Structure 1
Amino acid sequence: MDQVKIEEHTQQMIALIREMPDFICFKDGVGRWLLTNPFSLRLFQLENVPYRGKTDSELAVYSPFFKDALLFCEKEDQKVWEAGKVSRGEEIIPQPDNSCKIFDVIKVPLFHDDGERNGLIVIGRDITERKMAERNIKHLAYHDELTGLPNRRHLYESLNNEILQPNHFALLFIDLDRFKVINDSLGHLLGDLLLQKVVQRLVQNLACGMLFRHSGDEFILLLPNAGRLEAELVAQELIRHLDTPFELNPHEIYVSASIGICLSSDVGRSSTAEDYIKLADLAMYQAKQEGKHTYRFYSESIGSAAYSLIDMETKLHKALEREEFTLHYQPQIDLEIGEVSGIEALLRWNHPQMGFVSPAEFIPLAEETGLIVPIGKWVLYTACKQTKELQDMGLPRLAVAVNLSALQFYQHDLVEVVQGALKESGLDARYLELEITESMTMDVSRTIKILNGLKKLGVKISIDDFGTGYSSLAYLKKFPIDKLKIDQSFVGESLKDSNDATIVQTIIAMAKNMGLRVNAEGVETMDQLLLLQQHFCNEVQGYFICKPLPLESLLEKLPGIKNSLANLGVPQSLNERLWIEESLRVARQSLQDTIKLQQGMTFKYKQQDDKFVHTLADGELLYRIGLSPEVLIGKTIFDVLPANMAQKKHEYYQKAWEGERVTYEGENNGIHYLAALSPIKSGGRVVEVVASCVDITERKQVEKKLQESEERYRQLIEIAPDTILVHQDGVIQYINQAGVKLVGADRDEQIIGRSLLEFIHPENLADVKERLNQIQQNHQPIEPIKTRIIRLDNQSINVESTVAPITYNGANAFQNIIRIVYEPALN
C-alpha cells in the first residue's frame, strides 16, 4: 500500500474513532496514551490537556477529581497484559456530581513477535441504567435539575408552611453579581458549571437553613428560628466563602453576591410567601446599588429606594424610543503625524426631568436588565451615520471607535448588526473600530470565532482598558486585533509611580513587536504626553487635548485642535525625525530576526578542476546536520562526507551542473532534508548552482508512524462494538466484525460488494434513499436516523445510524456507524 493510501486510510479511521460515542483509547506498551477521542477527554475532564505520551497516573495530575479512576484503570491494564488475552468487564467511574457512570470495557493487549508489550486498545460504552423513574420524576418536580437544589415550587411550599409556625424566621435573597456577563463571556456550559460549583460551596458551608434555587443566578435561603443577628452572621459567612475564586480550567473566576434579608418579625404573619420573597428581593437590589458584594435588611426606606431604582429602569426602557440618548465624541490624536485620526463615541443620557444622567448610574442598570443590547445597537448605527456625515462634509477620513458591551459581543447576530450599520450609513468598514475589554475574551475559542467574523467585514478591533483584565499573552497573539488601548489608570499615575510608567512602556513595546498600534487613554498633562511621545505611542486621547463633545461642538473644535497640536509635546520637526529613526530601527531589527530565525540551509557550488567546490553555506539546518560554513566552504562533498554518501550527492551535483533542476532527499546526523538544486546560467552555460534545503525530519517521522499505526487503527475498528461500514454508490466496500455479526453473516466476503439497500427494511427504503441523496447534495453529515435492517435470516432489527460523507480509495463514499436500538422489532 503506497503512502497516499496509508494516510487516506488512517484519516478515515481517525474520523470514525472521533465520531464514536464511546470511550476509546490506544496506549503503547507501557500504558502511555497515543490516541483517543473527544468523548474520552470529556469523560476525564482532559479536553485541554496534551495527553499524548502520558500514562494514566501522569494524566491524573491534570484531572484531580478523576485521579482514583485513572489509577484504577492503570492497575486493570496491568492485569490484562499479565493475562495476555482480551478482557471484558465493567468499570465504575465516579462523577463530579456524586453520581457514577458504569462502562462496559473491552481491553485488547497487543504484543510484538518476541512477546514484548506493543500496546493496548481500550473501548468502553456507557451502560449506566436510569433506575426508579417514578422517584426521579418526583425529585425533578421539587428540585432544580442543574444544581440539585430544591426549586421554586419547593420554596413556596416550605415558606408557606414556615409562615404558619409560631417561631420567627429570616429569608435571604442571594443574587450573584455580574453573573450574566460571565455567563455570556464563557458560554452557558461553563456558566452552568460555575453555578454548580457556587452551590456546592454554599451548601458545604451552610450550618443551618435550607437553600433553594429561585431562578437563574438567584438563590433563596430560609432560616427557621432566626432573627436579625443570626441572619446577619449567615450573610457575612456566605459572602466570605464566595471570595475565594472558582477554578474553571483554564479560567479563574471571581464571584461575589448581593444579599437581601427579610425578617418575619419586621413583616408580620399576614404576608404571603410571595410577599416575603418580593421584599427580600428589594433589599437585594439596594445592596447592588450600594456597590454589590454586601447585604442589606429590608426596611420601608429601602423599599422606597428600590422603587426609585425600578422607576429609573422604567425611564431607561422609554429613553430609546423617546430619543433621549445622544453621542459625545472624543478626538484621538496620531502622534506620528500630529493629526486627529479618529474619534471615540461615548453614550450620554439627557432625561427631560432628571437632566444628564451619569453613565456610571445607567450603564450598569442597562447591562443588568439586558437593555444594553438595543442601546448598543443604536450607538453603533448612530456613530456610523454621523461619522459618514463628517467625512462627507470634507473633513479628514476619521475613524470612529465604538465600545461593545459583553452582552452585545456575545449576541448571535452581532456580525449582521455591524454589517447593517455599515450598509445603512455607507461608512467604509476600515473607518469603524470596535472596542472590547479583556474580560470579554475569557472564552478564547468563542472570542476568536466572533472576532474573525467581524474582521471579515473589514472593521478594526481594539482591546480597551488593556492591562486591567485577565488576558493571557499566549492567547492575545491569536486574536485578530489591531490595537491595544492602555487604561487611563496607568497613564494617570505614570509620572508618580515608576511601576505604572514601566507598565506603559512595556505595553507599547509589546504591541509594536506584535504589529499592533497603541492608544493611551486619559492623557491629562503635558508631561504625560511627552512620556508617551518619547516611547513612540501611536495615539493618545484625553482631557489635555479635548474632552468628549457633542457632534456640533466637535465640528467647531476640530480646526483649533489641529492647530494646537503643533505646540504640544515634542516639536513637530523633531518628532518627524524621531519617528523616521524608529521606523528604520524596527526595519533593521526585523531583518536581523528573519536571518536569525532561518530554519533551512542554503549553499552554492562551482566547478573547479573537474570538482564541485562549495562557495557559500549558511542556515540553521547546516549546523543541525553537523556541519558549518567553515567546514563546507572551499571544500568538495567528498571532503566532508563518507565516500558512499558523497558519491550519490556528486551525481545530483553533476545533473544540476548540466542544466537540470534537481531535487533529492538526504540524511545526515539523524536529520532528513529535501534539497532543490537550481543551475544559474550566464552566456548560455551553467556558472553556478544554488541549493535550498528544508528540514523534513518531522514529515519522515510522521510517515513512519502512519505506517506503524495503520494496523493498530484497523484492529481498533475491527473490535469496535458498533457496526462500521463504508459504501460507494450504494455498494458496500468495507464492514467490520460487529457489522458482519449484525447482519447474520460469517465473514465480510458475504457482505462486501452487495448493495446497502438490500439490508434496509422495505418500509424504510424511501426514507434512507432520501437521506443519502441529502448528504450527497450537501456534503455534510446528518443527524442520526432510526431505521430497520433485514438480516440474512430475514429477521428485522431496529438500529440508529450516523452517516457522513468521506473519501475512500480516492473516491467519494459514505461512512455509516450503526448502533442497535433495543426496542421490539417490527417484522
Structure 2
Amino acid sequence: MDQVKIEEHTQQMIALIRELPDFICFKDGEGRWLLTNPFSLRLFQLENVPYKGKTDSELAVYSPFFRDALIYCEERDKEVWESGKVTREEEIIPQLDNTEKIFDVIKVPLFHTNGQRNGLIVIGRDVTERKMAEKNIKHLAYHDELTGLPNRRHLYESLNEEFLERNHFALLFIDLDRFKVINDSLGHLMGDELLQKVSQRLVQNMVKGKLYRHSGDEFILLVPNAGREDAEFVARELLRHLDTPFELNSHEIYISASIGICLSNDVGRSYSAEEIIKLADLAMYQAKQEGKHTYRFYSESIESTGYTLIEMETKLHKALERNEFILHYQPQVNLETGEVCGIEALIRWNHPQMGFVSPADFIPLAEETGLIIPIGKWVLSTACRQNKELQDKGLPPIVVSVNLSAIQFYQHDLVEVVDGVLKESGLDPRYLELEITESMTMDVSRTIKILNGLKKLGVKISIDDFGTGYSSLAYLKKFPIDKLKIDQSFVAELLKDSNDATIVQTIIAMAKNMGLRVNAEGVETKEQFLLLQQHFCNEVQGYLLCKPLPLDSLLEKLPEVRLTLEKLGVLQSLNERLWVEESLRVARQNLQATIKLQQGMTFKYKQQDDKFIHTLGDGELLYRMGLSPELLIGKTVHDFLPDTAAERKIDVYQKAWNGEKVTYEGEKNGIHYLAALNPITSGGRVVEVVASCVDITERKQVEKKLKESEERLRQLIEIAPDAILVHQSGKIEYINEAGVKLFGATTKDLIIGKSFLDFIHPQQHEVIMERINHVYQDKKTLKPFNMKIIRSNNQTINVESTAALISFNSAPAIQNIFRIMIPTKTYKTMIPSLTTM
C-alpha cells in the first residue's frame, strides 16, 4: 500500500514538472540528464532528441545554436558540486530571433553519504520581462521621455557622485535662441519635434562629454578633464553644427543657441551641483544679452549682473503703471521724392534710478514674463493717438509703424485689439503700419489668417528684418503684405561685402516684381544712401537721416530731414529721370510677364518628306486639351486629330510654311484656342514655324451667349409694335416688320441698303445729320424728335423718333425708334393699310 502511494506521488510530481513553465532538469552524479520537461526541451531545441543518459556537451551536438549555452551549464554544474552549496544566479540564453532570455537559475547539488556526487537539480525561471521592466523603469527615472537624453535627476547624481570628486571639468549650459517664437508660431508638437532633432544633432556632433536635457529648451553638457581651451572648442563646434537649418514638416527652421560655461577650476569645491548649474545659467544669460548665438564663461562680474536682472524684472512690472515708458520716433524718407513718408515708433524706458534702459535689455525680459502684451498695447495706443494729434494740428498725414512681438501677433484677439485702438484714437487705418518679423511667418496658414484679418481693417503690413532667412519665399507671395524692410545687418556691410550687396539688390528686385515697397534700415553713411538710391530702394531710415527722437524733438528736426535727398542724393533732375526709367522698365517687365502668362501653349513644326512634323510642344493649355509633349513631338496632325480636322489644319500649316503669318482658331476636347503661326526663315526660305496659342474658351462661351442674347433681342425687336431701324454711315442695315409697314414697303429688301435720308423730308436733312453726328460724338441717347417720313408712295407722315448709338455687326451704328404723331382720327381714316399690310 505504501509502495502504491509512493508511485502515485511520483506520477503526480512528474506531471507537475511537465506542466511547469520553468526550466527543470534532474541530473545524475555524472551530469547526465535523467528527467526534464517539455519547456526545457523547447528552450534548447531538443524536442525530438533522446536526452536521457546524455550530458550537456553530448546534447550540444544535437543543438548547435545552443552549444555554448549547454557547455556553460555543464561547467557551472561542476563548480556547484565543488562548492557543495546551493547556488542561485542569473544566466542569459541567446534565442534564435537574436533576442536574449534571462533565467533565475537555482542549482541544488546532491551527495551520497560517503560524499560522492549523487545528482543535481536545476530549476530556472524566465525573468526576462521582469528584468526588462526594471530596466525600463530605471531608464524612465533617469532619462527624458521626449529626447531620450539623461534627465536632470541623472545630471545631479552624476555631478554629486562623479564630477564633484574631480577638480577639472566644464559644465556647458545650452539654451536655444528664439525657441519660444517657434513654439508659439508652429505649435508645441512642432516644438517637441524640433527639440528631438536638436538633441540628436548635438549628440551626433559632440566632441566629448555627456549631454543631458535640463528642462524645456535647455541642455547641459558635462565635459570631463576640460579646461578653458577645451570648453571653447566644444562650444564653437556645437554652435557651428546648429547653424545648418532643420527640416520640419516642409518648414526650413534656423535656430541658434546661447551657451554659458562654468569651469570647475573657477569655483570652490564647496559649490553644490545646483549652484554650479546656476552659475553656468548666469553665463548663458549674459551670452543672450550680448546678441545670442555665442558663448560666455562664468565670472563674478556676470553673477552680479544676474542679480541686477532680477531687480530689473521687479521694476519692469511697475513701469507701465508709473508711466515710465515713452515713445521715440525715427523718420522714413522716400528716395524718389525726398518726403518723409513715415515714422517708426520705438519704445524707451526711463527709470527714475536706472535712467534709460536699453530695449535690448528689457524687451526680452518683457517677452519672458508676458508683460509684452500690455506694454505692446500701450505702444500701439500711444502711437495711434499721437499720430492722430499730429494730423489734427494740420500736419500732412504720414504712416506710423509699430512693431509686433511674436507673442502679440499670436494672441487670439489681436485683430479686435487693433480695431479697438484705431476706433479709440480716431486714426484712419491706412496711416498705421504693423511690422512683423520673418520668424513669425513660419506657420503659414495661421499667419495668413491673422494678416487677412488685419488687412480687412485697412492697416498696412510690413515684414521687418527681412533677409535673415527664416521665411519661406514660396509662401511670401501669399501673404497680404505691403512692404519689406531689409535687415540692417545687410545695409551695414553693403559696401564691404559683395554678398550683402547682392542680397540687398535681390530683395529690392524681388519686392518690385511682387508689387511691394522696400525700406532699408540702419543707413549710416552717404555711400550707403547713394547705393540704395541707385538700386531704386523706395525708403530708407537710419542715423544718417535722424536718430529716434521724442515726438516734439522730431517735429523740429523734420524740415532738415526733408532736405536729406537734396543734400546727399544725386541731382533731383537726374533722380526724377532715373525713377521714370525704372518705372518704364518695371512696366515692360510686368507686360512681358502678363504676355507669358496668357501664352498657354507653344509648338513648332518642320516639313519633312512632304509632311509637317512637330518638333516642340508644351504648356498648360496643351495638357488641358488632353495632349502632352510625347503625343505631339515627332508626330503629324493625323496622329492626334480626325482626318477632316487634320486636313484643315494642314492647309493652315502650308500657308505659314509658304511664308505667311497665319492666325486661326481651333478647338480640341472642348477647349477653344487662338493660334498665331510665325514662319522662321533662314537663307531666304522657311526652316520652321513657331506657333503661340492662348485659351479663348471663355471668350467663345461669351460670344455664344452674346449671339443667343442678340438672337433673342432680334426676335423681340422683330415683333415690337414700334418701328425700329438701324443705319451705319447713313446706310440702312436693318428694319423690323413694323418699320416696313411704317415706310409703306412690302418687303425689307425694298428698304435695306438704301440711304436713311431717302426716307426723310428734304427740309430736315441738315438737322437729322447734326443729330446723327451728336450721337456718334457724345455717345448718348437723344431725346425724342419730331420727324417727317416719306413713305414709299411719297406720302409724308409725322413721327416721333429717338436715336441711340449701338453696336451692330461689331461696328458702331444708329438705332432709331419711330412712333406716329398724327391724331388718332386722322390716322384711322388716312392710313388704314398700316395695320393690314
Q: Structure 2: how far apart are the matches of 1:139 and 1:499?
A: 49
Alignment match, 1:199? 199
1:44-63 alignment runs, 5 A limit: none
Q: Describe the shift of the 1:221–1:490 C-alpha distance in structure 2 as closer, same or farther (beyond 3 A).
A: closer
* Aligned partner of residue 456 in structure 1, secondary structure: helix
Q: Describe the shift of the 1:389–1:600 C-alpha distance in structure 2 as closer, same or farther (beyond 3 A).
A: same
Q: CA deviation at 1:429?
A: 1.7
* Aligned partner of residue 458 in structure 2, secondary structure: coil
Q: Structure 1: how far apart are the matches of 2:240 and 2:644?
A: 77
Matched, 1:483 2:480: no
Alignment match, 2:175? 175
Q: Structure 2: how far apart are the matches of 1:506 and 1:163?
A: 53
Alignment match, 1:383? 383
Name stretches of at least 5 consecutive residues in structure 1 with no aligned partner: 1-130, 602-618, 627-639, 648-661, 691-827
Contact 2:262-2:276 at 8 Å conserved across structures: no
* Aligned partner of residue 427 in structure 1, secondary structure: coil
Matched, 1:665 2:670: yes
Q: Structure 2: how far apart are the matches of 1:494 and 1:204?
A: 37
* Aligned partner of residue 278 in structure 1, secondary structure: helix
Q: Structure 1: how far apart are the matches of 2:581 and 2:242?
A: 53
Q: Structure 1: how far apart are the matches of 2:492 and 2:165?
A: 59
Q: Structure 2: how far apart are the matches of 1:258 and 1:332?
A: 37
**1:329-372: CA deviations, max 9, x gaps?**
11222344443221111222223233223334444444555544
Q: Which has the higher contact order (CA 8 A, sep 6+)?
A: 1
* Aligned partner of residue 147 in structure 1, secondary structure: coil
Q: Describe the shift of the 1:400–1:689 C-alpha distance in structure 2 as closer, same or farther (beyond 3 A).
A: same
* Aligned partner of residue 149 in structure 2, secondary structure: coil
- The AA in structure 1 aligned to 2:428 is D
* Aligned partner of residue 394 in structure 2, secondary structure: coil
Q: Structure 1: how far apart are the matches of 2:191 and 2:556?
A: 48
Q: Structure 1: how far apart are the matches of 2:364 and 2:553?
A: 28
Contact 2:227-2:263 at 8 Å conserved across structures: no
Alignment match, 2:45? none
Q: Describe the shift of the 1:278–1:594 C-alpha distance in structure 2 as closer, same or farther (beyond 3 A).
A: closer
Contact 1:228-1:263 at 8 Å conserved across structures: no
Q: Describe the shift of the 1:303–1:460 C-alpha distance in structure 2 as closer, same or farther (beyond 3 A).
A: same
Greater Cα radius of gyration, structure 1 or 2 = 2
Q: Describe the shift of the 1:596–1:181 C-alpha distance in structure 2 as closer, same or farther (beyond 3 A).
A: closer
**Range 217-226 or range 353-362, more displaced:** 217-226
Matched, 1:428 2:428: yes
Q: CA deviation at 1:140?
A: 4.7
**1:540-582: CA deviations, max 9, x gaps?**
3233433321011122233454467666635556655655565
Alignment match, 1:516? 516
Q: Number of paired residues? A: 516
1:43-442 alignment runs, 5 A limit: 140=140, 142-156=142-156, 159=159, 161=161, 171-204=171-204, 211-221=211-221, 238-239=238-239, 241-242=241-242, 244-248=244-248, 249-261=250-262, 263=264, 266-269=267-270, 271-289=271-289, 292-296=292-296, 298-367=298-367, 370-442=370-442
**1:132-169: CA deviations, max 9, x gaps?**
98986775555432222343445455555559969887
Q: CA deviation at 1:430?
A: 1.4
1:815-826 alignment runs, 5 A limit: none
Contact 1:437-1:466 at 8 Å conserved across structures: yes
Q: CA deviation at 1:196?
A: 0.9
Q: Structure 2: how far apart are the matches of 1:233 and 1:432?
A: 48
Percent identity over the alignment is 75
Q: Structure 1: how far apart are the matches of 2:527 and 2:235?
A: 48
Alignment match, 2:461? 461
Q: Describe the shift of the 1:144–1:671 C-alpha distance in structure 2 as closer, same or farther (beyond 3 A).
A: same
Q: Structure 1: how far apart are the matches of 2:403 and 2:488?
A: 16
1:547-562 alignment runs, 5 A limit: 547-562=547-562
**1:796-817: CA deviations, max 9, x gaps?**
xxxxxxxxxxxxxxxxxxxxxx
- The AA in structure 2 aligned to 1:325 is F
Q: CA deviation at 1:400?
A: 0.5
Q: Structure 1: how far apart are the matches of 2:401 and 2:551?
A: 14
Q: Describe the shift of the 1:641–1:574 C-alpha distance in structure 2 as closer, same or farther (beyond 3 A).
A: farther
Q: Structure 2: how far apart are the matches of 1:241 and 1:585?
A: 44
Q: Structure 1: how far apart are the matches of 2:227 and 2:533?
A: 62
Q: Describe the shift of the 1:520–1:140 C-alpha distance in structure 2 as closer, same or farther (beyond 3 A).
A: same
- The AA in structure 1 aligned to 2:420 is G
* Aligned partner of residue 267 in structure 2, secondary structure: helix
Q: Describe the shift of the 1:430–1:132 C-alpha distance in structure 2 as closer, same or farther (beyond 3 A).
A: farther
Q: CA deviation at 1:448?
A: 2.5
Contact 2:332-2:539 at 8 Å conserved across structures: yes
Contact 1:338-1:572 at 8 Å conserved across structures: no
* Aligned partner of residue 321 in structure 1, secondary structure: coil
Q: Structure 2: how far apart are the matches of 1:581 and 1:232?
A: 54
Contact 1:177-1:258 at 8 Å conserved across structures: no
Contact 1:168-1:265 at 8 Å conserved across structures: no
Contact 1:231-1:261 at 8 Å conserved across structures: no
Alignment match, 1:18? none
Q: CA deviation at 1:251?
A: 1.0
* Aligned partner of residue 457 in structure 2, secondary structure: coil
- TM normalised by structure 1 equals 0.53
**1:576-599: CA deviations, max 9, x gaps?**
565556545544554454344325
- The AA in structure 2 aligned to 1:665 is G
Contact 2:244-2:254 at 8 Å conserved across structures: no
1:699-714 alignment runs, 5 A limit: none
- TM normalised by structure 2 equals 0.52
Q: Structure 1: how far apart are the matches of 2:488 and 2:241?
A: 33
- The AA in structure 2 aligned to 1:260 is I
Alignment match, 2:638? none
Q: CA deviation at 1:398?
A: 1.3
**Range 190-199 or range 166-175, more displaced:** 166-175
* Aligned partner of residue 402 in structure 2, secondary structure: strand
- The AA in structure 2 aligned to 1:253 is Y
Q: Structure 2: how far apart are the matches of 1:306 and 1:314?
A: 13
